Amino acid sequence: MTAKRLRVFALLAISVVFLLAWAFPIIWSVLNSLKTDSDVLAYPPKLVFAPTLDAYRDVLFGSGSILPNLLSSVIISVGTTVVTMLMAVPAAYALARLRFRGKRFAGFYVLATQMLPPVGIIIPYFLVLRNIGWIDTYQGIILIYLSFSLPFAIWLLVSYFEDIPFEMEEAAYLDGASRLKTLWRIIIPQVRGGIAVTVVFVFLNAWNEFLFAVVLSGNTVRPVTVAMFNFVSVEQTLWAKLAAVSVLAMLPVVVLGVVAQKHIVKGLTVGAVKGGGRR
């Protein structure tokens, strides 16, 4: 074997080690979800075992099925994402393009709301929702999620809008397009990548949120992040079931990631390609 081939092999081996380290939590969850409880606890850990789908069957169709919780998570995450995007796109466009009094302050104010520690605002949120009777409702949780997903989405989108050359818009105006039409026909297609990135992040944040969900949800609305904890009781941790729920909870996110991948790559590199068109 030549020295060059040896070097390639060494590099490959190192990459595999890094890849395994990176993927370890996922591999661990998937393996445990296919084991029986006694196999999970086996020491040294069993790499060869008889796989079983019992854990999946239990968590999906058993008495404490998490299907309603997965549905709750989907409704909350999709709801939050849709409402956030409907509001964030025009807001970000306005901050990036329009001239108006107090623009600087508005931009800062949006960001400032992100600086509050979540634990500090949980009691006021609880009281507000309680007073309007929105505890344990979808609209209540989505409203609270908006309070942190919206500023995040606006700030992410502003940078994409700022990267679009003014000339494109001006050309559209010269052709007689209204501002709204320009936004819809010219601008939004240009920032598709940015919108995809934002959608993924907003969805992910809502999907993974736990702190607000555990306090503001109840028996009616209970996302999977909260339900998952029911497999960690004071008596024991049901590792196989916990792993099965984790894998199930990861699936929609993986699917979304794969679907949006093309746009994300475009969105992440857009600044690099254009070198920025900020004025």
Binding residues for other proteins (CB under 8 A): 36-38, 41-43, 122-123, 126-127, 130, 135, 214-215, 218-219, 226, 229-237
Question: With left for phi above 0 and alpha for psi between -120 and 50, is residue 231 left, alpha or beta?
Answer: alpha
Minimum CB–partner distance for residue 216 and other proteins (Å): 10
Minimum CB–partner distance for residue 206 and other proteins (Å): 19
Per DSSP, what are the bridge partners of residue 225? none
Let me know: does 134 contact 143? Beta carbons within 8 Å.
Answer: yes
Residue found by looking up tokens 């006021």 in the block: 124
Minimum CB–partner distance for residue 249 and other proteins (Å): 16
How far is residue 80's CA from residue 138's CA, in Å, rounded to a whole number? 10
Let me know: does 271 contact 157? Beta carbons within 8 Å.
Answer: no
Of 153 and 242, nearer to other proteins (C-beta) is 242
Structure tokens at 33: 């979800």
Of 2 and 219, nearer to other proteins (C-beta) is 219
Minimum CB–partner distance for residue 233 and other proteins (Å): 5
Residues in the chain: 279
Minimum CB–partner distance for residue 128 and other proteins (Å): 10
Of 50 and 258, nearer to other proteins (C-beta) is 50
Extended beta strands in the chain, E state: none
Measured CA to CA in angstroms, residue 80 lies from 6, 54, 142, 188 at distances of 51, 33, 5, 20
Of 2 and 233, nearer to other proteins (C-beta) is 233
Let me know: does 257 contact 197? Beta carbons within 8 Å.
Answer: no
Let me know: does 59 contact 245? Beta carbons within 8 Å.
Answer: yes
Of 228 and 264, nearer to other proteins (C-beta) is 228
Minimum CB–partner distance for residue 81 and other proteins (Å): 25
Of 2 and 236, nearer to other proteins (C-beta) is 236
